[in-house]
Structure 1
Amino acid sequence: MLTSIIVLTLNNMDQTLRCLHSIRTFTDSPYELIFVDNGSTDGTVAWLAQQSDIRLIANPVNVGFAPACNQAAAIANGDHILLLNNDTIVSHRWLSVMLQCLHSSERIGIVGPKSNFVLPLQKIPADVSNEGQYHLFAQQFNRHNPALWQDLAALSGFCMLLRRSTWLALGGFDEAFGIGGYEDIDLGYRVLKAGLFLRLAGDAFVYHEGNRSFDSNAIDMYGVAAVNRRLFIRKWGFNPERLILRHDPAFLPDRYASPHPHHPPLSPDLPSGWYALADDGCVFRMERGLKRPVNSYDTFLRLKLSYDRIARCGNSFLQGLPSGQPLDAMNFPHGYPDVFLARDPGGGLHNVGNGIRYPIRNDSVLSQLGLRLDEAIPVSFEQIWSLPEGWPMQGNAWEEYELYDYLLYRGPNGGLYYGEGQRLRPIVWEQTLGRFGWSMDRAVIIPVELFNRVPIGFPIH
């Protein structure tokens, strides 16, 4: 079976030659080479055109990573498509090991390798500071071992292997992502939605220098990424960091969790994110159908709770709910709410959501979302830095961040809604607010454009 190896170039001829030499030397499965050049001016095009084993597409200008990859895939003859950055080096058995992973199941959509410069869940420490060390490392590392495979919710496009039939079924990269950034996360998520798996071939390692084309061609990588990240949030309704930075099994095929942005709700479940007071004085936080007891009065105080935010519930109601992990201020982060505002010892603010910290860069974010500084939970630097860091919250929080969970919203129609699982749940009666310890004066006005694109969930009675 033939693999079409697609390499994108934009200047950096030395990198391209190094990458090509490694492909020719170490690829141990049948392949064809397709290079797409996005407007190089350093002689790359002329040199590639002289290579008899390369099919070349030479764009006069930079059409972007996603369109260029789509161009190459459209002329590919292979049964597989392998996308490879030109700032990579491949080594012993790299392709055959990845192919074994791909063909271990028909339900595997995309395979990616381990690397030194890659998404956090694909990265491993390795002494590969020069090419010789890399090849010595890869000679031992790149050996078929299914025990090292892992299913993830995102794979980096720097080296990505999939069946050509999968690529065609999904329509390739979304060209709205343009120059580059998040098109690989978007493609991977569409694979998951199609019921296929993203599999990390933990028995393959490909060296990646990283960001060479952006840096040497004076492309504002951060600015491009910011635009494309907003595009991803608009398209899918949640932060891409939830796929990239944490292993959330609920995103994988055949899994379900509620409330969750990947899953439409099955029934009008009890809302999450509120507090209840039992007849005996015990306080519980309601999360995902579980009651989480507050383990002590010290935890109550350290988590900045107050009785005006707590609903009075009878024991008969609470006894019917299964128990979850207690809230415990001494157990960070597992003993904390799944969404909360944190303040570090230096006064820095962070939104912590689903195990990821998002630094808050300016006070306008607090006012937009109706978050209150006096409810920020104090944490140590060690605690907050132990969490993976997502995109900073600044400027227009409605555009830079997913719909904030567990807030009360007022829509353009005057109605009240509760944010949960990236959906708006209508509040049927104002009397409902007291049942859950909510107050109308905490309702945040949601922008019309955001209101119109957020799905409506089951009403709360």
Structure 2
Amino acid sequence: MLTSILVLTLNNLDQTMRCLHSIRTFTDSPYELIFVDNGSTDGTVTWLAQQPDVKLVANGSNRGFAAACNQAAAMASGDHVLLLNNDTIVSHRWLSVMLQCLHGDNRVGIVGPKSNFVLPMQKIPAPVGSEGEYHLFAQGFNRHNPALWQDIGALSGFCMLLRRSTWLALGGFDEAFGVGGYEDIDLGYRALKAGLFLRLAGDVIVYHEGNRSFDVNAIDIYAVAAANRRLFIRKWRFNPERLILNHDPAFLPDRYASPHPHHAPQAPQLPSGWYGLADNGCVYRIERGRKRPIHSYETFQRFSLSLERVGRCGNAILDGLPDGAPIDAANFPAGYPDVYIARDPGGGLYSVGYGIRNPFRDENAFRTLGLRFEETIPVAYEQIWSLGEGWPIQGNVWEEHELYDYLLYRGPDGGLYYSEGQRLRPIVWEATLARFGWSMDRAIHLPKPLFDRTPIGFPIA
């Protein structure tokens, strides 16, 4: 079986030469080489044109990472497509081990390796500070071992292997992502939605220099990433960090969770994210169909709760719910709510949701979301820093962040809505609010563009 290795170049001739040399030296499966150059001016095109084993496409300008990869894939004749950055070095058995991982299961859609510079769940703390150290480490590490494979929610496009039939079925990269950034997360998510797994080949490492094309070509990587992240949120309606920073099994095929942005609700359900009072005076937090008892009065106070936020639902609702893990201030992070606002000892504010912290950069963003300082939960520095850090919340929060879960909104149509799982659930009767501890005067006015593109969920009666 032939693998088409697709490499994108934009200047960095020395890196391209090192990458090509390592491919020729260490690739132990049949392959073809296709290079696409995006407007290099350092002699890269001339040098590549002299290589007898390279198919070359020379673009006169930078068409962007996604478009260039699509160009290369259109020329591929192999059974597999492997995308590879030119600032990489490969080593012993790298391709054969990745191919074994891909063919370990017919439902594996995309495979990626471990690396020194990569998304957090693919990163390995290996002693590979130099090319020699990398090859020495890889010689013992790159060996077939299915026990090290893992299914995750995102894979980096710096080195990505898939069947050509899968690439064609998914339609390649979305070229709207332009220069580069998040097109790989987008492709992986489309594979997940198609019922395919993203598999980390934990038994192979590929060295990655990282961001060299951005640095050498004076491209503002932060600005490009920010724009493409906004594009991802508009397209899929949730923060990409939920795929990148956290292992959420509900994103994997054949898993279901509600409320969840990956899943449309199957039937009307009791809302999540509120506090209820039982007839015996016990307070619970209701999350994803379970009731989590507040461990103690100390926890109630530390979590800045008040009786005004506790719904008078009684046993009629709570008795029908199974018990969940207690809400316990002494048990971080498992004893904390799935969504809350944290305050560090220095007064820094963070939105914490589903194991990820997003720092607030300004008070305006905090107030725009309708959040209140007096309801923040104090956390120690070591606690908040132990969570994966997502993108800061700033500027136009309606474009920079997913729709905030578990808040009451006033739509442009005048209706009341509750946000849950990146959907808006209409409130049928205002009398319903007291049952869940909600107050109409806390409803946040939702901008019409965001309202128009947000799915409407089952009503709450």
* TM bucket normalised to smaller: over 0.9
Give the superposition deviation at 1:319: 1.8
The one-letter code sitting in structure 1 at the alignment partner of 2:369 is L
Q: Extract unaligned runs of 5+ from structure 2.
A: none
Q: Which residue of 2 aligns with 1:274?
A: 274
Q: How does 1:288-437 map to 2 (within 5 A)?
A: 288-437=288-437
Q: How does 1:117-136 map to 2 (within 5 A)?
A: 117-136=117-136
What is the CA–CA distance in structure 1 between the aligned matches of 2:145 and 2:42, rounded to whole Å?
41
Question: 1:443 and 2:439 equivalent?
Answer: no
What is the CA–CA distance in structure 2 between the aligned matches of 1:355 and 1:293, rounded to whole Å?
20
What is the CA–CA distance in structure 2 between the aligned matches of 1:21 and 1:298, rounded to whole Å?
63
Give the superposition deviation at 1:333: 1.0
Q: Which residue of 1 aligns with 2:186?
A: 186
How many residue pairs match? The answer is 461
What is the CA–CA distance in structure 2 between the aligned matches of 1:314 and 1:187, rounded to whole Å?
46
The one-letter code sitting in structure 1 at the alignment partner of 2:314 is G
Q: How does 1:143-162 map to 2 (within 5 A)?
A: 143-162=143-162
Cα deviation digits, residues 11-52 of structure 1 (max 9, x gap): 010000000000000000000000010000000000000000
Aligned-residue sequence identity (percent) comes to 79
TM (norm. structure 2) is 0.99
Cα deviation digits, residues 150-176 of structure 1 (max 9, x gap): 001100000000000000011100000
What is the CA–CA distance in structure 2 between the aligned matches of 1:316 and 1:100, rounded to whole Å?
54
Give the superposition deviation at 1:317: 2.8
What is the CA–CA distance in structure 2 between the aligned matches of 1:180 and 1:135, rounded to whole Å?
29
Q: Which residue of 1 aligns with 2:250?
A: 250
What is the CA–CA distance in structure 1 between the aligned matches of 2:36 and 2:260, rounded to whole Å?
39
Of stretches 279-288 and 310-319 in structure 1, the one that deviates more from structure 2 is: 310-319
Structure 1 segments (4+ residues) deviating >3 Å: none
Give the superposition deviation at 1:316: 3.8
* Contact 2:64/2:178 (8 A) holds in 1: yes
The one-letter code sitting in structure 1 at the alignment partner of 2:315 is N
What is the CA–CA distance in structure 2 between the aligned matches of 1:23 and 1:361, rounded to whole Å?
44
What is the CA–CA distance in structure 2 between the aligned matches of 1:368 and 1:447, rounded to whole Å?
11
Cα deviation digits, residues 54-84 of structure 1 (max 9, x gap): 0000001000000000000001111100000
The one-letter code sitting in structure 2 at the alignment partner of 1:103 is H
Give the superposition deviation at 1:407: 0.2
What is the CA–CA distance in structure 1 between the aligned matches of 2:332 and 2:374, rounded to whole Å?
20
Give the superposition deviation at 1:315: 2.4
Cα deviation digits, residues 172-224 of structure 1 (max 9, x gap): 00000000000000000000000000000000100001000001110000000
What is the CA–CA distance in structure 2 between the aligned matches of 1:103 and 1:311, rounded to whole Å?
52
SS at match of 1:350: strand
What is the CA–CA distance in structure 2 between the aligned matches of 1:131 and 1:79, rounded to whole Å?
30
Q: Which residue of 2 aligns with 1:91?
A: 91
TM (norm. structure 1) is 0.99
* Contact 2:36/2:69 (8 A) holds in 1: yes
Cα deviation digits, residues 402-460 of structure 1 (max 9, x gap): 00000000000000000000000000011111111100001000000000000000000
Q: Which residue of 1 aligns with 2:52?
A: 52
Q: Which residue of 2 aligns with 1:262?
A: 262
Q: Which residue of 2 aligns with 1:241?
A: 241
The one-letter code sitting in structure 2 at the alignment partner of 1:173 is F
SS at match of 2:388: coil
Q: How does 1:65-84 map to 2 (within 5 A)?
A: 65-84=65-84
Give the superposition deviation at 1:318: 1.5
Question: What's the C-alpha RMSD, in Å, of the aligned pairs?
Answer: 0.6
What is the CA–CA distance in structure 1 between the aligned matches of 2:374 and 2:323, rounded to whole Å?
29
Q: Extract unaligned runs of 5+ from structure 1.
A: none
What is the CA–CA distance in structure 2 between the aligned matches of 1:302 and 1:402, rounded to whole Å?
27
Cα deviation digits, residues 216-239 of structure 1 (max 9, x gap): 110000000000000000000100
